Amino acid sequence: MQEQQFIPSKSYQLPEKGEVKWESPSNIALVKYWGKYGEQLPKNSSISFTLSHCKTTTQLSYQKKNSSKKFSFEVYLDGNRTESFEPKIEKFFERVEKYLPFLTEYHFKIETQNSFPHSSGIASSASGMSALALCLLQLERQANSAMTEEFFNQKASFLARLGSGSAARSIKGNLVVWGEHTAVNKSSNLYGVEFSDKVHEVFKNYQDTILLVDRGEKQVSSTVGHNLMHNHPFAEQRFLQANSNLEKILPVLQSGNLDDFIFIVEQEALSLHAMMMSSSPYFILIKPNTLEIINKIWEYRETHKSKICFTLDAGANVHVLYPENEKAKVLDFIKNQLVGYCQKGMYICDEVGFGAKPL
């Protein structure tokens, strides 16, 4: 599939006004995307668990406009007008206009809410951008009833990617691959595809408890971080490692071999942060408490013969991953030994989910 196939081939009779609403989840990468080229294209393939409880709900109200402004919209977060979000949306509209030519014909009211606290350090870009992409595409689908479900999902992921790379993996569940890889049928740099081979039962309800170590503003945004991979001395090796880890994790997701799963997932998390620490300029996003938690997890895994492990995204928070049958014990461990390292003792219990939903 080429970009051009996402450009509507004819103009449709669009409604005068209306509204659509979608909820879309966040995702946590097992094999990480870090480094991009062109227009939001990944330098390596990645795979993520779609989450269930961490999500964004977006309502898009649209009305044919009469203003001369190219894009006319207003954004509300939790009912409050949030002008600080508008430059990002403007940029997103610029990028996707070619694929959604009706954008310039409407005034949009975008009302959005996250299920997780704002400034919790949990990135809302994956769930937020995918929810908005789904709403906009739903508007096109209303006028084009011939659009297949498969095309809808591909184009939604394609558009979401143009808002935020990892958002491409938030449309479907429970495991999504983004980035072309010979081991994954139909995989693409343009959009995410569901990992459709038989996934082992243990991963169908895998748990992810997110420990909120640092809720502050990140010192380095992921846009800057991705760009620092351009002249990074270890970049090419890192892209090879990620593609190789993707190939290694696929049979593990089918066999349910949790020791191999743990090894790949933790190596990926630490490699991601090693790239940050060896960029020019270098930076560190983990905090002392991130390391305290990692050491406690390793100690617990050893003494309790547990299958608990961790992963990290581009921040200090720790995603604690474990099979559902260990839930009660791991939650006790978190409450007794890890909450002290979390800001205000905050953590969020999530698990693998199945993708976005219209409301």
- Would you tell me which residues interact with ligand PMV (CB under 6 A)? 29, 32-34, 46, 123, 125, 164-166, 222, 226, 272, 313-314
Taking the complex as a whole, the smallest distance from the CB of residue 333 to ligand PMV amounts, in Å, to 25
Taking the complex as a whole, the smallest distance from the CB of residue 126 to ligand PMV amounts, in Å, to 6
Taking the complex as a whole, the smallest distance from the CB of residue 260 to ligand PMV amounts, in Å, to 20
| 127 or 306: CB nearest ligand PMV | 127
Taking the complex as a whole, the smallest distance from the CB of residue 70 to ligand PMV amounts, in Å, to 25
| 112 or 271: CB nearest ligand PMV | 271
Taking the complex as a whole, the smallest distance from the CB of residue 347 to ligand PMV amounts, in Å, to 19
| 75 or 123: CB nearest ligand PMV | 123
Centre a 10 Å sphere on the Cβ of residue 91 and count the other Cβ atoms it contains.
Answer: 12
Q: How many CA atoms lie within 13 A of 13 on its CB side?
A: 1
| 140 or 194: CB nearest ligand PMV | 194
Q: How many CA atoms lie within 13 A of 238 on its CB side?
A: 28
| 5 or 221: CB nearest ligand PMV | 221
